[in-house]
């Protein structure tokens, strides 16, 4: 149910477009997925996919699919379990391309759950550099960690921290920061009925205040010359142009970058930046039309370069995106642009104040396992927590005192005189990375039996095998006596 107060405000804002907008909210939402290039490249996916697909214009790896088809559904296909793609609302894919993440950088996704944007960033980083994915709510942080694992991301840490604690630990640390801010969710009204039921003008204002607090901490963590991308899934001016305008006025060394807008995107409205909710809008409507009402001091410069995604103008939900840059130490945009243009090296020298990691003898069990079972060299910082062994990115800072759910790639469990590999490790590997691999047909019964936790007959040398589907890893099996024992995690098994 769409709240009446929301309708009143949108009618004042949109004028002649209001009826078209309202009609769009009554239509069925669009379904989409985003291909994971670390598992399968775009061209191969298009050749093999058993789904009817159409490209999402603003994300090269994004595709619409039709939910009502009788053929295989993306959420019920072995490729999903293998992390070949992430099912993601099309407009939710819009912000990360503007972040322009690159291999070798230090990047923060500050409000990261459930992980769609984090895994989108990880794909651009190609396993190089440091990606910190943070989520303040513990249950959502756990889901985030699961999605990071499923998509085969090696270079990510998952934290469950507050923005203020992170800002204290990481001043000026990050090259790029994504703030996909918690918001009133107006853009999700046709996707999620609960969003409409929970909406109120008071909640909009509360969200705007929280966003400004988060933006302040993000500003503190961004290096000079760094890029910050801000997004919401709401139409509320207070949470969009209002929050960005607030940041620009507080920090003159931040400016909005003018970026090419994909087809269907619309520019932001500077004149909306200081608008309150419906009551004040109605009071000012007689003096100036709703969209022109603003503060006496005027809007911050550059808000016309922010972007709005309207559901009546494109195939997606409502979204807002702003791309900002922090000026360099000299405070000039020209020098910041130069810093941006100069690509960072693929690998940096490890920070002296970072995690030191284990000595070789402290992960000898894994080394023995790798020598026998792997054909790829893994690099990073080895960390151990009890029996659990992790491989953290080279740039990992000291983690002591932080709430860490995932300190890098979980390699597996160290047991007496042996090592048991993790499911997470399997999902980062390709068939050629393993000494032994078995390929299963995604359309056959055997792959479904494996995902259900069943054993199957197989021939070959005894030991660990990487189980794959269409060249994409699904998990581990262990061959003994002609039977492949199933090591697919019990918690992930389904009734296929």
Q: HSE of 177 in the Cβ direction (CA atoms, 13 Å)?
A: 31
Tokens of 287: 């003096």
On whether the CB atoms of residues 468 and 437 are closer than 8 A, the answer is yes
Q: Is the link from the previous residue into 168 a cis peptide, with omega within 30 of 0?
A: no
Distance CA 350, CA 14 (A): 52
On whether the CB atoms of residues 113 and 143 are closer than 8 A, the answer is yes
Distance CA 496, CA 487 (A): 17
207 labelled catalytic: no
Distance CA 209, CA 193 (A): 24
Q: Classify burial at 323, counting beta carbons within 10 Å of its beta carbon; exposed 0-12, middle 13-18, buried 19 or more.
A: buried
Strands (E), 327-387: 381-385
Pairing of strands 174-180, 222-232: parallel
On whether the CB atoms of residues 125 and 155 are closer than 8 A, the answer is yes
Smallest Cα–Cα separation from 82: which of 481, 469, 482? Answer: 469
Smallest Cα–Cα separation from 267: which of 256, 276, 277? Answer: 256
Q: Which of the residues 133, 229, 233, 472 is marked catalytic?
A: 233
Helix ranges restricted to H, 91-232: 96-99, 116-125, 138-150, 163-169, 193-198, 201-221
Distance CA 265, CA 285 (A): 27
- Residue 119, C-beta contacts closer than 8 angstroms, at least 6 positions apart: 36, 86, 147, 148, 151, 153
Backbone dihedral angles phi then psi of residue 92, each to the nearest 5 degrees: -70, -15
Active site residues: 233
């Amino acid at each position: 149910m769409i709240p009446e107060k929301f309708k009143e405000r949108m009618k004042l804002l949109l004028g002649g477009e209001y009826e078209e907008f309202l009609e769009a909210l009554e239509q069925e939402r669009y379904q989409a997925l985003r291909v994971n290039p670390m598992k399968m490249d775009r061209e191969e996916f298009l050749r093999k996919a058993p789904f009817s697909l159409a490209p999402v214009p603003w994300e090269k790896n994004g595709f619409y699919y039709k939910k009502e088809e009788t053929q295989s559904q993306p959420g019920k296909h072995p490729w999903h379990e293998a992390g070949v793609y992430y099912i993601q609302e099309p407009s939710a894919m819009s912000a990360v391309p503007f972040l322009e993440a690159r291999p070798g950088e230090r990047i923060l996704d500050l409000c990261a759950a459930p992980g769609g944007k984090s895994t989108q960033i990880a794909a651009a980083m190609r396993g190089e550099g440091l990606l910190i994915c943070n989520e303040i709510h513990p249950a959502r942080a756990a889901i985030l960690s699961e999605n990071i694992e499923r998509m085969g991301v090696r270079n990510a840490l998952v934290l469950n921290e507050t923005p203020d604690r992170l800002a204290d630990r990481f001043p000026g640390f990050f090259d790029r920061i994504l703030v996909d801010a918690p918001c009133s969710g107006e853009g999700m009204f046709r996707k999620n009925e609960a969003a409409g039921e929970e909406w109120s003008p008071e909640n909009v204002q509360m969200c705007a205040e929280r966003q400004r607090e988060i933006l302040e901490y993000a500003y503190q963590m961004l290096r000079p010359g760094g890029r910050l991308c801000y997004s919401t899934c709401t139409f509320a001016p207070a949470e969009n142009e209002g929050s960005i305008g607030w940041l620009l006025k507080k920090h003159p060394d931040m400016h909005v970058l003018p970026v090419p807008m994909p087809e269907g995107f619309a520019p932001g409205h500077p004149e909306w930046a200081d608008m309150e909710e419906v009551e004040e809008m109605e009071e000012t409507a007689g003096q100036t039309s709703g969209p022109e009402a603003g503060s006496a001091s005027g809007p911050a410069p550059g808000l016309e370069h922010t972007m709005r995604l309207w559901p009546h103008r494109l195939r997606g939900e409502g979204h807002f995106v702003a791309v900002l840059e922090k000026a360099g130490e000299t405070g000039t945009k020209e020098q910041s642009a130069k810093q941006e243009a100069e690509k960072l090296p693929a690998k940096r020298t490890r920070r002296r104040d970072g995690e030191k990691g284990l000595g070789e003898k402290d992960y000898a069990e894994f080394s023995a396992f790798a020598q026998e079972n792997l054909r790829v060299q893994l690099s990073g910082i080895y960390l151990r927590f009890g029996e659990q062994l992790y491989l953290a990115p080279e740039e990992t800072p000291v983690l002591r005192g932080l709430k860490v759910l995932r300190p890098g790639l979980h390699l597996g469990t160290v047991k007496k005189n042996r090592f048991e590999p993790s499911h997470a490790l399997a999902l980062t590997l390709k068939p050629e990375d393993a000494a032994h691999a078995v390929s299963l047909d995604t359309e056959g019964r055997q792959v479904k039996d494996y995902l259900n936790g069943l054993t199957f007959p197989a021939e070959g040398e005894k030991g660990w095998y990487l189980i794959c589907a269409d060249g994409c890893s699904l998990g581990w099996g262990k061959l003994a006596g002609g039977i492949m024992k199933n090591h697919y995690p019990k918690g992930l098994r389904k009734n296929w």
